[in-house]
Structure 1
């Protein structure tokens, strides 16, 4: 007889189509305790990933690019249903920029990441040798928003992986189906285990949970208020942050503005 009490209860985020209310699917929630173990495993896996030549890491990203281009129609459909963008907007503002970004970083990764010598700044330093060496941070956390749920985190994940880091990605609760599609896109490269990790932690907990559980750098896109909070918390451990902060601003419309263009712009923004 199986003891049902030994099995932890799995909770989910239920995803809805914002236009119809239709249930699109569900995404398992990640606990803070699970995140702790995920980061610990990523720290171990990253050491092996970091010593791979840039050329080999770029080859993995080529697989990501190929999957993205071959499955662009499916990805656009998921973005449209889960986020509410039109298919044209999903292609033009999400999938196409992601494809351009990954191709750009693949082509330039070796140049961006190679070591280089520095010439002495004055005559007193002629007997000195200075060199810039690119060293991965370790485990990079990415917390991304609902409004551009594919293109924003995709570029950040690709950059971090190419530079030799492991990644833990948390996308917005409102667009978990897009997040899971992005996860599938990255995992199509068949990366070594532990290098890319997808988590679904409630937004109110995510930033603090990342910073308190061993993340070496954090990308955050969200509100100014949360960005300030994360800066304060990151200062305790001197964890580097990359913040893109925004909010809801008033729209000023002049009396002689074209009404159709104004309303169209307001809806798009």
Structure 2
């Protein structure tokens, strides 16, 4: 699109935002439910497009659509309860007033989506923005443009009278930058930490607030009292599903030394038959394959060793069989940075205290998992991560009522759940005078004689 095209698109979105925001929550819920129905009707084409653009197996694309629809359904249903106005006790200084907090739509929300989950991730964000009463402009990744187009067109077919409420902005980095600078009222971005910094810098020029869900470098902690079989299965799925291209998937595993051999044997048995192209798909972009290769080569050149896989794991055309590394120094990119591929680093540790310290030692703080029969919940409270699964893997992503997001270099703000709905509104404080008990004596420029006496008494009696 040209700059003129984008200006026209944003103008239409802004014109659509006012009538959409004036609808009741129930009216918006019905339109969002019709969108979900249309996505189900067109699911065969949508799933085929996801598989073609990302390289996922069909079952993975179907699971992604299902989880996305669950988030859409929950958000549409709970927006009214979450965002309705609430009364606030006015306090002694404003006792003659009624006080309320109202949640107002921000206007037009720009959404920049990722290529790794091109349905689930933007659908959860768009659901929150639309259910809260905003219009949205969606820029999908340039690698998954047709998936984004299918989602937007499904909304238009389901709600032809509201088609301008959700518009598509195709393009790459230049389109994303133009959207950041184009005058949207809020921008939600999902992607790498590096790109997230660029998005934040572009939005700073216009003071556009942002929600950033950036990269993760998530740890799995395995305690001495863990269910080792369950932990190994979770590690395999968390590290290698979607070819490891999951922001909250497993990149690092810290295992109590007392159960280290047992865990590694269970993980090896779990991964021995797994092959790229069958159990999971290809790496979506050529650049990502190069990142994975560089991280593995650097790790092995600096003392790391292969527990599973090796150089032969790189089979070409984006297909990389599972790679499990051990003895990688903690300062190497395979540990410090997000590899975002079918590679996981394992380290044996003394106990959970050491595991927590190492898990928290990286800049990213998105997700984490803990396997322990007795200490899981307590350990979760000590992790910097924005989301933690105890004796499970990525389960927080499948609970529509839970917020999704991270801390540190993994970004800030939340999508999904009540917090995700609140992100796309602004708080408006409202007071309404119900009586005039003092003749406005406390707020008159020409004060009555008794005002100083009352103020001194209140200060002394209430705060002295």
Q: TM-score, normalised by structure 1?
A: 0.79
What is the rounded CA distance, in whole Å, between the counterparts of 2:3 and 2:191 in structure 1? Answer: 20
2:7 is aligned with 1:36: yes
After TM superposition, the structure 1 = structure 2 runs for residues 161-240 of structure 1, keeping only pairs within 5 Å, are 161-189=130-158, 190-202=160-172, 204-240=173-209
**2 CA distance for matches of 1:75 and 1:207?**
23
Q: What whole-Å deviation, never above 9, does each CA across 1:106-164 have from its counterpart, x for those lacking one?
A: 221211221111124x5445444321111111111000010001111112112211211
Q: Distance in 1 between matches of 2:32 and 2:77?
A: 11
2:88 is aligned, of 118, 125, 137, to 118
1:45 is matched with which residue? 16
Q: Does 1:68 align with 2:68?
A: no
Identify the residue that residue 68 of structure 2 maps to in structure 1: 98
Q: Out of 209-218 and 126-135, give the one that drifted further.
A: 126-135
| CA spacing shift, 1:251–1:58, aligned 2, 3 Å | closer
For 2:81 and 2:12, locate their aligned partners in 1 and report how far apart those are by CA, in whole Å.
30
Q: Is the 8 A contact 2:217 2:251 kept in 1?
A: no
| Matched residue SS, 1:132 | strand
Any idea what SS the aligned residue of 2:68 has? helix
TM-superposed CA distance for 1:193, in Å, is 4.2
Question: 1 or 2, which has the higher helix percentage?
Answer: 1
Matches of 1:41 and 1:178, distance apart in 2: 23
Partner of 1:15: none
Task: Report the structure number with the largest CA radius of gyration.
Answer: 2
1:76-99 deviations in Å (ceiling 9; x for gaps): 22211221111111111x101111
- Count of matched residue pairs: 237
Higher relative contact order (CA 8 A, sep 6+): 1
Describe the superposition over 1:3-54 as per-residue Cα deviations: whole angstroms up to 9, x where unpaired: xxxxxxxxxxxxxxxxxxxxxxxxxxx2333111100121122112211222
CA distance in 2, matches of 1:100, 1:237: 34
User: Would you say the 8 A contact 1:114–1:134 is kept in 2?
Assistant: yes
Give, in whole Å, the separation in 1 of the partners of 2:143 and 2:97: 54
Q: Distance in 2 between matches of 1:150 and 1:138?
A: 23
- Whether contact under 8 Å (1:60, 1:191) holds in the other structure is no
Instruction: Note the alpha carbon deviations across 1:167-221, whole angstroms, 9 max, x for none.
Output: 100101111221122122222222424211101121x213321122111110101
**Superposition TM-score, scaled by structure 2 size:** 0.47
DSSP-derived class of the 1:174 partner: coil
User: For 1:230 and 1:151, how far apart are their aligned partners in 2?
Assistant: 21
Equivalent pair of 2:190/2:212 in contact (CA under 8 Å): yes
**Alignment correspondent of 1:267:** 342
